[in-house]
């Protein structure tokens, strides 16, 4: 009944006060000053994921045992779930809303589980238009691989140039296999190749082929050569110290490397941790020398913890000032540090304590104080006048058609950041080739108001690990996979923040019966919604927002 | 999460005149969903007199008989008798009264109906004061609450009447408490009541945001906190003797009553000592209930 | 209990005459609460229900207020309903009397006229029923047990025609507990006279409506206008029902009954059992050659004003006996008759007598005194207290 009943005469009225219509004419929507709207928000995990994995949706699929669908969803946003599930520092978990309820979800363990579960899966390549444009990707680390993958998915002809004999970049050269088994890496690169990406290994740009030539032969070039040049300590006797990254490369390449018993690793980053744990596996007794305290270490906390568990020793608040060779051994003279005021990085600045020098003896010293990109292969021509201008967001060189990304652009960062960079470069290249402006990323509000009442406590899955004794003598992957049942249970812990999962709460609790639900979608009838706000308050996952009515 | 499906059919239409966040309106919606269209609702003077809509309209898609304040149970008895004599034993007759119409003015006719074991479901949606007339204290108003007739300087000095105790003492076949934050429990109880012959009594806590001086979006939250703080435990009593506790669980840690009280303006004048007094009463009643459940 | 043979004569009390009328009318839902002198009505109905003579639900409620509320529920759901009460019970019902009328429910009730307390009294007068004058119920005052039975059946006929409730009224003890020979009509004929109740709207899950919702000022007055029109229509319906009853059962009572009024100089107006006594007195005085007549008011609501006007048009004086008192004004029947005549061209002077309150006998001697007082006084008086010890 949309219109009110108007009696013009008593003769039109029934004898008694009997109802003749419903209250449909009474548009109680006019009472409203706050309007509930379904506004899906970005889950903090997804927002924190550099790759942009659609974590809540993936977890929902996993909870239903739909691993293959979850796998495909991962691969919508990343070509390397198997890699990320192992080596990503998972900021998703740090931002997980569930940590305020009991414990954050073990998203990384689920990602790895899904990748492993779908390891043998045939990649179905959909029919897609082939494009004539040719793109060269220089470097096959995570940035290069991601860029190649996303371009190939769109039908572009992509050739990846790799200086080493196998693709993978830092994933293969730098990361030890106890963290990232090579079969996983090989398989994921194989899948990228499966999409039509061509790999040209043993081809160093600037040596085997000039960048100029490359540019002539391609419509666009993406430079993702990483950051491989180790920083110097700038102390006397530096020549006695080996670059940590070079040590890792040699070990990872299967070369026989001898470091002796006592190995000093200078630095507190991930390279330092990898060096220490690798040296341990070669039978050495590694000692990490770091100038600040443990809390300030740039390495992923979990890596530091693992290193410690495995028996790596630490010497905090110490910095080398000179290295000397004496009777075939090395003497590292260090100075004790104290922590002063925070510096630009927010960490407390180490200050040497005068007269506190002491000596550490070692068979070898590995320096791991950071790496930087080596872009010397870029020609004079490209470095003229303005030099290399990097448009930060999209990695576009000023010279149209040449793009740069990954660690080569930013200096050493994480695998996930590199993937993101490669993906953004792919998008920038597509826009460039189409003569468009790159699309602006749109910012979604984060889902942070979770109604904990609708969830029950459940412990976080713990990832099984090899016993220490079984780890330190070999390069077998230390972390084991969780089971399917564990993965489903863990995924079921997901709050699905900001994503409607059809729980019906809004419909159930509406005191005005102003919400309808059909085929999994909800509709608010604003003719009748009084704006009480119950639906927004009782939405477990912050999907509904209340906005002020415009008068 | 809920492990039930709420019946789809909406027998309470939109456009009704309940305030924003009206617990009584939501309770009616649940009840009609639970009972279906073969239901007749008898409504004495209460908020629902208004919510149901003025002549010539009705916000309910089932027959409604409006009746005088003190007559819900007996008018429902009359409807039941008329249906029975006309051969309709299928239709459910419910009396739907507020706390004033149940605890106070309607208690006599409710007692009469219960004593006769009339085959009706009597549902008291309790918003803990005469809300329709503008928030005056009733026998259901909690201890120390503010109302317009128990101003802050002299808040209500008597505790809430134990209506469940009164009804259980009639040894009716089924008496239960329910509230809007627990729709599965609520609907199960209504359907259970429907399946039993005789007088069934449901005491429903129905938060009233305007009367409780709380934001409308907290209607469900307040209902939930009332249960969690054991202010309004959910339980059922069969044949006046078999008690079952539904929520909170006996071993569940109690939420302090202050968590419930502090959200409501009607309790904003309470001192720490007042809150302790209330907590003491709640603890005592909870222990008594646990004993009844265990015996 | 032996089966009741209808279509025969039985010696029954006024209370039981009510019960027989209700049985014959096939009431479906009965609800009542005990009160002297009504109780026998529902005692016999309980027997009828118990032994299956009457197929009805009897709700034994905890108060008269609830009795009427139960019937409101039942009648709203389409049942033919009945209750009986008296004095304080009727007063307690007051709110629900309004409700029944406003809801346009054709509930029939017997009220045994009993004086109101305090002080406690169980004996007859009309203040209980007349206090309910304005609630929207039809009121019919009966003179004999036969009339009581017949009026129950007629009341349903009229009430269900105009959708207004009806109350038949009989004097405590004088009628309620006094046995008289009463013809019990044939059930088949009653069924022919009174078919099952057909409501316009009822509580029906297949055709859901609400009943009695809030009515804003723009519609309330029209609903009240319709109630008044229904009461006006009821005058003709009572006449028609009475005539039809006469055709089937050979008895009729009229809305009013003028007795020997054609050439009367003085007309005495009565209601209830006083009428029978007055009839005897009139006959005696007529035998003495005095020109006196009697007017019995049977239907009090709706008030048959036009019939009253015509009946007294040629009289020189009217004397009204009221077994009731509106404190501060006088007898209520006298007021009603005065109101009915005030705008008429020919209106005789009216003497108002209040007599027989709280069950005090109104004997032939008292009635003769009343007539003689009116005859001997020229100026009318509003209120003459009869028999008060002063």
Chain B residue numbers touching A35 (CB-CB < 8 A): none
Chain A residue numbers touching B59 (CB-CB < 8 A): 22-23
Chain C residue numbers touching B42 (CB-CB < 8 A): 73
Query: Are residues B18 and A511, on separate chains, in Cβ contact within 8 Å?
Result: yes
Contact between B76 and B94 (Cβ < 8 Å): yes
Q: Domain check: are A271 and A289 in the same one?
A: yes
**Can you give the CATH number for the domain in which A76 is found?**
1.10.1060.10
In the numeric block, which tokens belong to residue A161? 């140039």
Instruction: Dump pLDDT digits (tens) for A419-475.
Output: 999 999 999 899 888 888 777 877 888 999 999 999 999 999 999 999 998 888 899
Work out the average pLDDT over A521-535.
97
Rounded Cα distance between C287 and C279, Å, is 12
Percent with pLDDT over 90 in chain A: 78
Same fold, C8-249 and C257-385: yes
Query: Are residues B65 and C216, on separate chains, in Cβ contact within 8 Å?
Result: no
Distance from CA of A524 to the nearest CA of C (A): 27
Contact between A137 and A159 (Cβ < 8 Å): yes
Best of B63, B90, B105, B113 to substitute, by most chain C Cβ atoms within 10 angstroms, is B63
Chain A residue numbers touching C104 (CB-CB < 8 A): 15-16
Q: Roughly how many angstroms between the first and final C-alpha of chain C, as a whole number?
A: 52
Contact between A185 and A176 (Cβ < 8 Å): no
Query: Are residues B66 and C31, on separate chains, in Cβ contact within 8 Å?
Result: no
pLDDT of residue A389: 45
Instruction: Dump pLDDT digits (tens) for A101-131.
Output: 999 999 999 999 999 999 877 777 888 888 9
Q: For residue C351, is pLDDT > 80?
A: yes
**Chains touching A, CB cut-off 8 Å, 3+ pairs:** B, C
pLDDT of residue A394: 55
Q: Domain check: are A484 and A515 in the same one?
A: no
pLDDT of residue A392: 45
Residue A304 lies in a domain: yes
pLDDT of residue A128: 85
Rounded Cα distance between C30 and C42, Å, is 9
Contact between A78 and A124 (Cβ < 8 Å): no
Instruction: Dump pLDDT digits (tens) for A149-188.
Output: 999 999 999 999 999 999 999 999 999 999 999 999 999 9
Residue A233 lies in a domain: no
Query: Are residues A10 and C225, on separate chains, in Cβ contact within 8 Å?
Result: yes
Rounded Cα distance between A482 and A540, Å, is 28
Contact between B127 and B24 (Cβ < 8 Å): yes
Query: Are residues B66 and C212, on separate chains, in Cβ contact within 8 Å?
Result: yes
Domain boundaries, chain B: 23-294
* B271 or A40, greater pLDDT: B271
Sorted by sequence, the CB contacts under 8 Å of residue A339 that are 6+ apart come out as A292, A293, A296, A317, A348, A349, A350, A351
Contact between A422 and A405 (Cβ < 8 Å): yes
DSSP state of C330: B
Instruction: Dump pLDDT digits (tens) for A476-504.
Output: 999 999 999 999 999 999 999 998 888 99
Burial of C179 (0-12, 13-18, 19+ CB in 10 A): middle
Sorted by sequence, the CB contacts under 8 Å of residue C372 that are 6+ apart come out as none
Q: Domain check: are A268 and A362 in the same one?
A: yes
In the numeric block, which tokens belong to residue B61? 């898609």
Question: Which structural domain range is residue A317 located in?
Answer: 260-366
Of the candidates B74, B168, B179, B92, the residue with the CA atom closest to the CA atom of residue B128: B179
Domains: count for chain A: 3
**Closest Cα in chain A to C201:** A18
**Can you give the CATH number for the domain in which A541 is found?**
3.30.70.20
Contact between A307 and A271 (Cβ < 8 Å): no
Nearest to A15 among C163, C209, C212 (CB): C163
Query: Are residues A15 and C219, on separate chains, in Cβ contact within 8 Å?
Result: no
**Can you give the CATH number for the domain in which A282 is found?**
3.50.50.60
Q: For residue A27, is pLDDT > 70?
A: yes
Q: A338, A366, A394 — which closes off a domain?
A: A366
Rounded Cα distance between B30 and A133, Å, is 62
C59 touches chain B (CB under 8 A): yes
Q: How many CB atoms lie within 10 A of CB A431?
A: 15
Chain A residue numbers touching C201 (CB-CB < 8 A): 14, 16, 18
Residue A213 lies in a domain: no
pLDDT of residue A387: 40
Q: What is the secondary structure of A117-154 as a DSSP string?
A: HTTT----PPP------EEEEE--SHHHHHHHHHHHHT
Percent with pLDDT over 90 in chain C: 97
Q: Read off the pTM.
A: 0.88
Best of C99, C159, C224, C226 to substitute, by most chain A Cβ atoms within 10 angstroms, is C226
Nearest to C208 among B54, B62, B76 (CB): B62
Counting DSSP H helices and E strands in chain C, the numbers are 12, 16
**Closest Cα in chain C to A10:** C222
Nearest to A528 among B15, B26, B56 (CB): B15
Query: Are residues B71 and C77, on separate chains, in Cβ contact within 8 Å?
Result: no
Q: Domain check: are A504 and A488 in the same one?
A: no
Pick the CATH number of B23-294 from 3.30.365.10, 2.60.40.10, 3.40.50.970, 1.20.1560.10: 3.40.50.970
Q: How many CB pairs under 8 A join A and C?
A: 42
Domain boundaries, chain C: 8-249, 257-385
Q: Quick one: pLDDT band at residue A381, thresholds 50, 70, 90?
A: low
Query: Are residues A17 and B56, on separate chains, in Cβ contact within 8 Å?
Result: yes
Mean pLDDT for chain A overall: 91
Distance from CA of C306 to the nearest CA of A (A): 26
C29 touches chain B (CB under 8 A): yes
Instruction: Dump pLDDT digits (tens) for C176-219.
Output: 999 999 999 999 999 999 999 999 999 999 999 999 999 999 99
Query: Are residues C77 and B86, on separate chains, in Cβ contact within 8 Å?
Result: yes
Query: Are residues C208 and B83, on separate chains, in Cβ contact within 8 Å?
Result: no
Query: Are residues C104 and A16, on separate chains, in Cβ contact within 8 Å?
Result: yes
Burial of A359 (0-12, 13-18, 19+ CB in 10 A): exposed
Q: Domain check: are A277 and A350 in the same one?
A: yes
Q: For residue A395, is pLDDT > 80?
A: no
**Closest Cα in chain C to A14:** C223
Residue showing tokens 């009475």: C242
Distance from CA of C352 to the nearest CA of B (A): 38
Instruction: Dump pLDDT digits (tens) for C354-373.
Output: 999 999 999 999 999 999 99
Chain C residue numbers touching B80 (CB-CB < 8 A): 73
In the numeric block, which tokens belong to residue A251? 């070990």
Please tell me the least confidently modeled range out of A21-35, A123-137, B16-30, C375-389: A123-137
CATH C-level class of C8-249: alpha beta
Distance from CA of A109 to the nearest CA of B (A): 25
Work out the average pLDDT over B265-282.
97
**Closest Cα in chain B to C201:** B63
Burial of C328 (0-12, 13-18, 19+ CB in 10 A): exposed
Distance from CA of C1 to the nearest CA of B (A): 23
Query: Are residues B21 and A510, on separate chains, in Cβ contact within 8 Å?
Result: no
B218 touches chain A (CB under 8 A): yes
Surface of B (75-134) touching A: CB under 8 A:
none
Distances (CA, A) of B161 to A457, B211, B238, B245, C106: 36, 19, 21, 20, 39
The phi, psi pair for A307, rounded to 5°, reads: -60, -45
Sorted by sequence, the CB contacts under 8 Å of residue B288 that are 6+ apart come out as none
Query: Are residues B85 and C55, on separate chains, in Cβ contact within 8 Å?
Result: yes
Distance from CA of C165 to the nearest CA of A (A): 13
Report ipTM (2 d.p.): 0.96
Work out the average pLDDT over C83-90.
98
pLDDT of residue B211: 98
Surface of C (217-256) touching A: CB under 8 A:
219, 222-223, 225-226, 230
Phi-psi region of A169 (alpha: psi -120 to 50; beta: other; left: phi over 0): left
Q: Domain check: are A272 and A334 in the same one?
A: yes
Residue A233: half-sphere exposure toward Cβ, Cα within 13 Å: 28
Chain B residue numbers touching A22 (CB-CB < 8 A): 13, 15, 53, 57-59, 61
Q: For residue B51, is pLDDT > 50?
A: yes
Pairing of strands A134-138, A220-223: parallel
Distance from CA of C128 to the nearest CA of B (A): 22
Dihedral of the alpha carbons of C270, C276, C282, C284, in degrees to the nearest 10: -160
The 3-state DSSP class for residue A548 equals: strand
Contact between A337 and A293 (Cβ < 8 Å): no
Q: Domain check: are A269 and A362 in the same one?
A: yes
pLDDT of residue C262: 92
Nearest to B218 among A513, A514, A537 (CB): A537
Q: Domain check: are A484 and A506 in the same one?
A: no
Q: Which helix (H) or strand (E) holds C322?
A: strand C317-322
Query: Are residues A512 and B55, on separate chains, in Cβ contact within 8 Å?
Result: no
Mean pLDDT for chain C overall: 96
Q: For residue B279, is pLDDT > 80?
A: yes
Query: Are residues A15 and C103, on separate chains, in Cβ contact within 8 Å?
Result: no
pLDDT of residue A388: 47
Surface of C (68-97) touching B: CB under 8 A:
69-79, 81, 95-96
Of the candidates B82, B20, B24, the residue with the CA atom closest to the CA atom of residue B49: B24
Nearest to B78 among C31, C60, C216 (CB): C31
Instruction: Dump pLDDT digits (tens) for C291-301.
Output: 999 999 999 99
Query: Are residues C213 and B53, on separate chains, in Cβ contact within 8 Å?
Result: yes
A21 touches chain B (CB under 8 A): yes
Work out the average pLDDT over B209-221.
98
Rounded Cα distance between B227 and B240, Å, is 22
Q: Domain check: are A78 and A26 in the same one?
A: no
CATH number of C257-385: 3.40.50.920
**CA B120 centroid distance within chain:** 16
Rounded Cα distance between B111 and B100, Å, is 15
Instruction: Dump pLDDT digits (tens) for C229-254.
Output: 999 999 999 999 999 999 999 999 99
Chain A residue numbers touching C219 (CB-CB < 8 A): 7, 13, 17
Rounded Cα distance between B26 and B74, Å, is 25
Pairing of strands A396-397, C266-270: unpaired
pLDDT of residue A402: 84
Of the candidates C108, C103, C29, C31, the residue with the CA atom closest to the CA atom of residue B81: C29
Q: Domain check: are A486 and A506 in the same one?
A: no
Q: Domain check: are A504 and A486 in the same one?
A: no
Query: Are residues C103 and A7, on separate chains, in Cβ contact within 8 Å?
Result: no
Instruction: Dump pLDDT digits (tens) for C22-69.
Output: 999 999 999 999 999 999 999 999 999 999 999 999 999 999 999 999
């Amino acid at each position: 009944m949309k219109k009110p009943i108007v009696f013009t005469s008593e003769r039109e009225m029934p004898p008694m006060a009997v109802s003749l219509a419903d209250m449909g004419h009474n548009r109680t929507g006019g009472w409203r000053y706050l309007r509930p709207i379904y506004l899906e928000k970005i889950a903090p995990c997804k927002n924190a994921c550099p790759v942009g994995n659609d974590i809540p949706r993936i977890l929902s699929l996993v909870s239903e045992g739909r691993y293959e669908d979850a796998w495909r969803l991962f691969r919508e946003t990343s070509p390397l779930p198997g890699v990320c599930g192992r080596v990503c520092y998972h900021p998703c978990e740090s931002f997980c809303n569930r940590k305020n309820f009991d414990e954050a979800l073990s998203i990384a363990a689920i990602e790895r589980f899904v990748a492993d579960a779908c390891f043998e899966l045939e990649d179905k390549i959909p029919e897609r238009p082939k494009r004539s444009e040719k793109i060269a990707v220089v470097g096959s680390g995570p940035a290069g691989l991601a860029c190649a993958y996303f371009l190939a998915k769109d039908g572009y002809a992509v050739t990846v140039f790799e200086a080493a004999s196998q693709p993978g970049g830092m994933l293969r050269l730098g990361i030890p296999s106890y963290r990232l088994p090579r079969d996983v890496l090989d398989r994921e690169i194989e899948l990228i190749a499966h999409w039509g990406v061509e790999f040209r290994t043993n081809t160093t740009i600037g040596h085997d082929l000039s960048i100029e030539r490359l540019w002539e032969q391609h419509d666009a070039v993406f430079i993702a050569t990483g950051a491989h040049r180790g920083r110097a300590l700038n102390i006397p006797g530096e020549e006695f110290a080996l670059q940590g990254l070079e040590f890792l490369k040699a070990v990872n390449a299967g070369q026989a490397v001898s470091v002796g018993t006592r190995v000093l690793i200078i630095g507190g980053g991930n390279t330092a941790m990898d060096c220490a744990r690798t040296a341990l596996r070669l039978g050495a007794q590694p000692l990490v020398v770091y100038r600040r305290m443990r809390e300030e270490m740039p390495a992923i906390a979990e890596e530091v913890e693992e290193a410690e568990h495995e028996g790596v020793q630490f010497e905090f608040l110490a910095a080398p000032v000179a290295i000397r060779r004496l009777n075939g051994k090395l003497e590292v003279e260090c100075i004790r540090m104290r922590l002063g005021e925070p510096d630009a990085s927010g960490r407390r600045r180490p200050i040497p304590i005068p007269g506190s020098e002491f000596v550490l003896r070692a068979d070898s010293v590995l320096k791991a104080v950071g790496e930087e990109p080596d872009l010397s292969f870029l020609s004079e021509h490209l470095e003229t006048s303005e030099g290399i201008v990097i448009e930060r967001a999209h990695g576009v060189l000023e010279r149209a058609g040449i793009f740069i990304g990954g660690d080569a652009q930013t200096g050493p960062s994480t695998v996930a950041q590199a993937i993101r960079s490669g993906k953004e470069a792919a998008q920038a290249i597509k826009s460039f080739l189409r003569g468009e402006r790159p699309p602006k990323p749109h910012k979604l509000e984060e889902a942070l108001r979770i109604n904990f009442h609708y969830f029950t406590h459940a412990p976080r899955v713990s990832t099984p690990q090899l016993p220490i004794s079984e780890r330190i003598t070999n390069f077998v992957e230390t972390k084991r996979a969780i089971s399917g049942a564990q993965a489903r249970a863990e995924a079921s812990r997901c709050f699905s923040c900001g994503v409607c999962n059809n729980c019906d709460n809004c419909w159930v609790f509406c005191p005005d019966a102003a919400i309808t639900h059909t085929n999994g979608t909800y509709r608010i009838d604003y003719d009748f919604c009084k704006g009480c706000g119950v639906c927004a308050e009782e939405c477990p996952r912050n999907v509904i927002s209340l906005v002020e009515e415009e008068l | 999460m809920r492990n039930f499906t709420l019946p789809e059919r909406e027998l309470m239409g939109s456009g009704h005149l309940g305030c924003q966040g009206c617990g009584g309106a939501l309770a009616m919606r649940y009840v009609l969903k639970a009972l279906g269209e073969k239901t007749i609702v008898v409504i004495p003077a209460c908020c629902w007199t208004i919510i149901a809509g003025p002549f010539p309209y009705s916000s309910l898609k089932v027959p409604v008989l409006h009746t005088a304040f003190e007559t819900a149970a007996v008018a429902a008895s009359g409807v039941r008798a008329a249906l029975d004599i006309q051969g309709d034993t299928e239709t459910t007759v419910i009396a739907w009264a507020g706390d004033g119409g149940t605890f106070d003015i309607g208690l006599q006719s409710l007692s009469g109906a219960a004593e006769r074991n009339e085959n009706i479901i009597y549902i008291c949606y309790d918003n803990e004061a005469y809300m329709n007339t503008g928030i005056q204290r009733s026998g259901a108003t909690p201890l120390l609450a503010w109302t317009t007739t128990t101003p802050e300087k002299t808040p209500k000095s008597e505790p809430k009447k134990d209506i469940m105790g009164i009804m259980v003492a009639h040894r009716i076949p089924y008496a239960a408490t329910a509230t809007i934050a627990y729709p599965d429990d609520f609907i199960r109880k209504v359907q259970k009541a429907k399946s039993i012959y005789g007088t069934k009594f449901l005491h429903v806590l129905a938060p009233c945001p305007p009367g409780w001086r709380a934001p409308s979006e907290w209607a469900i939250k307040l209902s939930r906190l009332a249960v969690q703080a054991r202010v309004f435990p959910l339980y059922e009593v069969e044949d006046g003797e078999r008690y079952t506790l539904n929520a909170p669980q006996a071993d569940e840690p109690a939420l302090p009553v202050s968590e419930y009280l502090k959200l409501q303006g009607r309790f904003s004048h309470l001192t720490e000592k007042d809150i302790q007094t209330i907590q003491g009463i709640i603890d005592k009643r909870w222990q008594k209930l646990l004993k009844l459940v265990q015996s | 209990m032996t089966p009741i043979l209808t279509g025969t004569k039985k010696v029954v009390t006024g209370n039981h005459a009510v019960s027989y009328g209700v049985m014959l009318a096939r009431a479906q839902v009965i609800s009542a609460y005990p009160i002297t002198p009504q109780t026998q009505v529902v005692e016999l109905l309980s027997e009828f229900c118990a032994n299956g003579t009457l197929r009805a639900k009897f709700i034994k409620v905890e108060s008269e207020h609830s009795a009427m509320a139960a019937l409101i529920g039942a009648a709203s759901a389409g049942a033919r309903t009945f209750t009986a009460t008296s004095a304080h019970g009727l007063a307690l019902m007051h709110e629900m009397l309004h409700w029944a009328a406003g809801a346009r429910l054709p509930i029939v009730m017997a009220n045994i006229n009993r004086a109101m307390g305090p002080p406690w009294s169980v004996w007859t007068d009309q203040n209980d029923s007349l206090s309910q004058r304005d609630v929207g119920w039809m009121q019919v005052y009966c003179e004999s047990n036969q009339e009581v039975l017949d009026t129950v059946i007629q009341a349903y006929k009229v009430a269900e025609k105009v959708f207004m409730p009806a109350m038949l009224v009989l004097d405590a003890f004088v009628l309620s507990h006094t046995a008289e020979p009463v013809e019990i009509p044939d059930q088949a004929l009653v069924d022919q006279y009174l078919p099952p109740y057909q409501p316009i709207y009822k509580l029906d899950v297949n055709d859901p409506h609400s009943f009695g919702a809030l009515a804003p000022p723009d519609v309330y007055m029209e609903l009240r206008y319709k109630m008044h029109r229904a009461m006006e229509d009821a005058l003709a319906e009572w006449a028609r029902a009475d005539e039809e009853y006469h055709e089937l059962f050979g008895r009729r009572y009229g809305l009013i009954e003028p007795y020997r009024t054609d050439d009367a100089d003085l007309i005495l107006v009565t209601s209830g059992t006083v009428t029978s006594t007055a009839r005897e007195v009139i006959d005696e005085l007529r035998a003495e050659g005095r020109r006196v007549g009697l007017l019995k008011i049977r239907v009090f609501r709706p008030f048959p004003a036009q019939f009253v006007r015509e009946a007294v048009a040629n009289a020189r004086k009217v004397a009204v006996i009221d077994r009731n008192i509106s404190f501060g004004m006088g007898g209520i029947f006298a007021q009603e008759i005065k109101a009915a005549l005030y705008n008429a061209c020919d209106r005789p002077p009216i003497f108002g007598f209040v007599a027989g309150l709280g069950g005090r006998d109104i004997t032939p001697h008292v009635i003769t005194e009343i007539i003689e007082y009116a005859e001997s006084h020229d100026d009318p008086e509003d209120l003459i207290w009869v028999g008060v010890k002063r």
